[in-house]
Structures are given as structure tokens and as C-alpha cells.
Amino acid sequence: MSTPRKSNRPLRPPTKKPTEQGRHQPRQGGRRDAPDEFVDEDRRPAMRPDAHKSALGTPEGMTLEGPGRERRRGPAQNGPATFTEPERLQKVLAQAGVASRREIEELVVAGRISVNGLPAALGQKIGPGDRVKLNGKLIPLRFVQRTPRVLIYHKPEGEIVSRDDPEGRPTVFERLPVLRKGRWLAVGRLDFNTSGLLLFTSDGDLANKLMHPRYEIDRQYAVRLLGELTEEQARQLVDGVVLDDGPARFNSLQAAGGEGVNHWYHVTLSEGRNREVRRMFEAIGLTVSRLIRVRYGPVELPSRLKRGMWMEMPEVEVCKLAGLPPPPPKQGPPGKAQPPKLRRTAPRA
């Protein structure tokens, strides 16, 4: 491996601080210091896309909010997420112009390079969140942003969110496009008899941030009940009920109309335990006859996306969801932005 030619030119323009002058000048030996009225086919009330943002104004309408919980819509509010593959320390530092890979290996063996305050090791991989120092001085590093892919899928009833099923039932993964590299990861689950919004991503880090309880990302559901929910029962659900796996509560509950024995409600909660919405209503003696997820964090189920169809989230929206900087504008003549295409994939055998 050839050694890079030495140069007296600094790696970056010197700053105004005197202490920064010549910081990147070559040292002896060539080494350098570097510093996110639903309409039923039966008879359902209409659900506007922004229905979760306003209360019902009718006297018989019911709107309850949980006390004092801050609403979180995605991981971007909890600090930006970075999606890059970890790379070997020698490669990253060589690309930053610190020294050649061979020289960096010598620096590592000599204990002159540290990662997050600990001595670096040969072959160690680092990412954007790591702090690398040479002789105690922080090295500024740059990583290439990789925008993950996200699919929005309208899951119908009668599909399971699993890759394999001993009973041979249809799975949601049979409906998705094939990835050339990696695989689709489901963001949360919907049970066999629940339909609605289901997100998939190609990036495990983003999937974890969207699902982790620490972020308390809210989910909204349209719920059809057999029977009428009293105001006392609704308050009980917002204040909290005790389930087999611990207490549970809705962040908000809104009446959404209905007639006869079927009544619709919109509920939000910030976790995704198994059959949690159904079990909460069962705890107060009511049965859920239809359950549809209509929103996950900031992502709403598009009204034009029919059951069994999927669409890919635009890169700009993915960056907003993940807390990444917006992508650079695409080259070409300006034109009217086209909406994402809706697709339906035939189940694979």
C-alpha cells in the first residue's frame, strides 16, 4: 500500500482562533493531528384525515384527553437519527486525511487513538455517534447519509404480520416488493383481525426508533363497538385499566358517531402491546367488532390507499420521519410533483 504524498496545505481552511492555526500540518513521520369518516363497507361514519386534531362539537359527542402526557409524533423530536453503515476505523480516518491506513494501524497499536474515551482496537468499526481522538484531540469525521426506505401498507383483515405461519395463513410479507439487499422490517404489528396502516422499513435502526417505548410514539385507531360506551366507562379507559400484563390507558378517546348497536370511536395510545385496544375494552365489558389503525406517529393512512395495496414514502417524508436533513433537490427541469404510486403485489407462492 503506497503512502500518501505529504503536503504543507492544511486539510481545511484555518479558523480565526490562534490555537487552531496549523492544526492539521504534517507531523514528523507523515502523521497528522486532526482534531417519524372512515367508511366501512357496512355503515360507518366518515372519518376525515384530520379527525384526530379536533374534538366533536355535538352535545352527544364525547372527547376525553389523558392528563399531562406530552404527545410525541416521531423520533425526530427526540434528536436526529443517523442512518449509515459502521465502517472500519482505519478506512474512515484515512478518508479524513489523517494518515495512511498503515500509519493509522501503527497509531492504534501505540495507543494514540481513542474512541469514546477508550483506546481504539485494530479493525474496530465506528459510526456517526462515535468520538474519535488522536493524541487527545478530536478528529472531525464525515459520514455519507443513507436514507432508509419506508413502505406504507394498508393491511386487510385475514393477514398475519409474520414471515412464516404454521397454519399456512397469508402473511403481509407476501404482498411486499422484493428487496435486492436486506429485508423489510415491520414497524409494530397488527393482529389477524385488525386492518389499517402498517409501516415497513429497510433500516433496523429506524424500525427500533419508531417502536421503542422510550419514544412514546402515539398510534390512532378507529374502533367499532357492539353497544354504547358510557362517559364513565370512557373516563375509566383514559384514566387507566389493569390488564394481565400491567396497567394501560388511552391518551385520548373521541366519539365518532354510528347508529343502532354499532358505535365508532377514535382512540390514541403510545404503546403497542398484543391486542391492547381490544383487551382494554374487554376489561370494561365491551366487545370490539372492528379495529382499524389510521395513524402511526405523523404518518396517516392515505384515503386513496385501498386494502392490500402499498406505496413507498417519498424520500423527503422519510427524512422528516427519521429526523434527517432533507435530500438535495433532484436534477432536471422543474415540474409538478407527482403523488406516490399505489401498487398491489400479488401474493408470492
- Backbone dihedral region for residue 98 (phi beyond 0: left; psi -120 to 50: alpha; all else: beta): alpha
Active site residue 191: yes
Choose, from 40, 130, 191, 205, the residue flagged as catalytic. Answer: 191
Q: Annotated active-site positions, please?
A: 191
